[in-house]
Amino acid sequence: MRVLKGAQIIAGTAVLALAVAACGGGDEATDPATGGAGAAAAPVTVEIAEPQHELVPGNTAETSGAEVLNALFIGLVNYDADKKPINQIAESITSEDQTTWTIKLKDGYKFHDGTAVDAQSFVDSWNYTANGANAYEANYFMGSITGYAEMNPADPDGDGPQAAPAATATSLSGLKVVDPLTFTVQLTNPFSGFPTMLGYTAFYPMPKAAFGPDGKVTAAYGESPIGNGPFKMAKPWKRGVETTISMVRNDEYTEAKAKVEAIDFKIYTDLNTAYRDLQAGNLDIMDQLPAEVIASAKAELGDRYIEQPSSGIGYLGFPTKVGADYAKSAELRKAISMAIDRKTITEQVFSGTRVPADDFISPVVAGYRQGACGEACTYDPVKAKELWDSNGGPASGAIELGYNADGGHKEWIEAVANNLRTNLGATVEPKPVEKFATILDDLGADKWKGLFRMAWIMDYPSPENYLKPIFAASASSNYSGFNNKEFEELLKKADSAPTVEEGIASYQAADDILLKELPYIPVYFYQTNAAYSANVKSVKIDPFERIEIANVEKA
């Protein structure tokens, strides 16, 4: 999963939590400034947090970096309004057995330096990302390709004293260049959803110029990446020092030429500040708004406020194997789920910026069924209490609710705690820890016994991404200890279906098992709240919460 941009602004949120309370309602409706003189030549400005790494596709797995790279690069596929992949650089992506994929490229795509976007440029880029020695953030995206294990040998004793064995390969054996415009990808397991993965940042190609004489991606490339997209860097960006990333239109790019001449990505540490800049007309687009301004933004900005479902889901998780008694029993987990008033929490605590969750699969991908969770996610205090009492709930001890105190989770966790106290009559102990890492560490060491908060945003728009990486027994992000044979079988069946569509029924059957067992309780779906100034128009946000930057126009 990509890291929420929130992770970066956590600190700001913590510091400013007070301010928010102090200034609530202080935002009077101001008439947003009109462009000002010389707007035609001025670049369109977009708010981002500081990208966490140098601007290299393989080392970018968070939203701000992805937003920037999205303007510089295009991928094999793009996504249509239904989040289905449509070929972009790819001429075709085909497979007989869902394991060996043949990718043919369209001719004529060029990098900003004039070299051709060919099969080798993809293979080089993916190999580099997959190499454990490079410690790239998006390394795990390559995990399904044959040869990944040889490049990233597992440590035999986890974090223990033994060192991991040395890698036995430096390139993915599953990648083969057939001719300049064709390459094949061998996966370790059949996966019909493979094409849906290919539009993400990690799978962008890199030109020869990216690599230095030693075969490493050069520092200069990380400051001024040469892409193949609608914009190119106007000047190198010095990370840690400069707060603006400037780009100009790539006029060589003919397919869907960008409508504006230049873009500046401006780095903000606080969303409230960025919003004030938007109000003052100094900033054009924000793809994320601070929760406190949502209510006033709707009224103030009208059409220039965008609200749409996003791919994120917020959960409460249970250590189902090693946890407290209430965490081990599916019936008690259901009782807890039914005692949570999702509607009130999303409306009151999140001011309507989240919606109650009713499935493990997000509404942004195919396979989501409204109300799939049914009774278990419906607020019913009476039934919840019955279920709790008849399954030994009162004897299972105090319910612990773990959360990281740095991320603005206190309010909703407290609300859940009150629900559980009132509706189940249980003793509830909210348990703040300083950082989320502490909870993950404890879960890894089987030391965490109670509930814990959890969130997930998708890597690629496939229902598989909401099931396998979180709940498959061997998955790296499986914190609940969930292990169900039937679930694994169904996933396997779905992954080997000839198309994603045909696999959906099996994914949903797997989803049904989760909904019955509830290793996590889905609590809310995130929403994208974006806004733009009167200087621009045609602003759209894609399923990865990236701005469709090439289509933005000056108003």
Partner 1 sequence: MGRYVVRRLLQAIPVLLGTTFLIFALVYALPGDPIQALAGDRAVDPIFRATMREMFHLDDPLIVQYGYYVQGIFTGDFGMTFRGVPVSTIFEGKFQVTLNLALMALVIEAIVGVGLGLIAALRRGKAADTAILAFTLLLVSVPTLVSGFVLQLVLGVQLKTSTGIDFFPVAGTSEGWRSYLLPGLVLAGTSIAYLTRLTRTSLMETLRADYVRTAIAKGMPRRRVLGRHALRNSLIPLVTYLGADLGALMSGAVITETIFNLNGIGRQLFDSVYLSENSVVVGIVTVLVLIFIAANLIVDLLYAVLDPRIRYE
Binders of partner 1 among 28-87, rule CB under 8 A?
28, 30-33, 36, 52-54, 62
Instruction: Give 153 or 352: the residue with its C-beta nearer to partner 1.
Output: 153
99, 121, 192, 279: residue in contact with partner 1 (rule CB under 8 A) = 279
Among 84, 176, 239, 537, binds partner 1 (CB under 8 A): 239
DSSP 350-367: STTSEEE---SS-TTSTT
**Which of 16, 71, 202, 494 lies at the binding interface for partner 1 (CB under 8 A)?**
16
Nearest approach, Cβ of residue 49 and partner 1 (Å): 11
- The pattern of x and - marking residues 363 through 402 that bind partner 1 according to CB under 8 A reads ----------------------------------------
Q: Cα 159 to the chain's mean position, in Å?
A: 27
Lookup: tokens for 30: 């101001």
Span 167-196, contacts to partner 1 by CB under 8 A: none
> Rounded CA gap, 393 and 416, in Å?
17
User: How far apart, in whole angstroms, are the C-alpha atoms of residue 484 and residue 486?
Assistant: 6
Residues 117-146 binding partner 1 (CB under 8 A) are 132-133, 135-137, 139-140
Using alpha carbons, select from 207, 205, 208, 245 the residue that is nearest to residue 54: 245
Tell the smallest beta-carbon distance from residue 221 to partner 1 (Å).
14
**Under the criterion CB under 8 A, does residue 241 sit at the interface with partner 1?**
yes
**Which of 150, 261, 270, 389 touches partner 1 by CB under 8 A?**
270
If 0-12 CB within 10 Å is exposed, 13-18 middle and 19+ buried, where does residue 48 land?
A: buried
Which of 178/280 has CB closer to partner 1?
280
Q: Pick from 95, 125, 152, 527 the residue near partner 1 by CB under 8 A.
A: 152
503 lines the binding site for partner 1 (CB under 8 A): no
The residues in 411-470 that bind partner 1, with binding defined as CB under 8 A, are 433-438, 440-441, 454-456
Q: Residue 331 CB, nearest distance to partner 1 (Å)?
A: 28
Q: Residue 260: how many CB atoms within 10 A of its CB?
A: 21
Q: If binding means CB under 8 A, how many residues of this protein chain bind partner 1?
A: 78
Per CB under 8 A, which of residues 290..309 are in contact with partner 1?
A: none
Q: Which residues have a Cβ under 8 Å from the Cβ of 120 and sit 6 or more positions away?
A: 177, 180
Q: Which of 87, 88, 100, 477 binds partner 1 (CB under 8 A)?
A: 477
How far apart are alpha carbons 19 and 427 in whole angstroms?
32
Is the CB of 41 or the CB of 135 nearer to partner 1?
135
Residue among 12 and 543 whose Cβ is closer to partner 1: 12
Of 116, 137, 200, 132, which Cα lies nearest the Cα of 172? 132
Cβ proximity to partner 1: between 138 and 339 the closer is 138
Buried b or exposed e, range 13-46, using 16+ CB within 10 angstroms: beebeeebeeeeeebeeeebeebeeebeebbbbb
The Cα 266–Cα 283 span in angstroms is: 8
What amino acid is encoded at 347 in this protein?
Answer: E
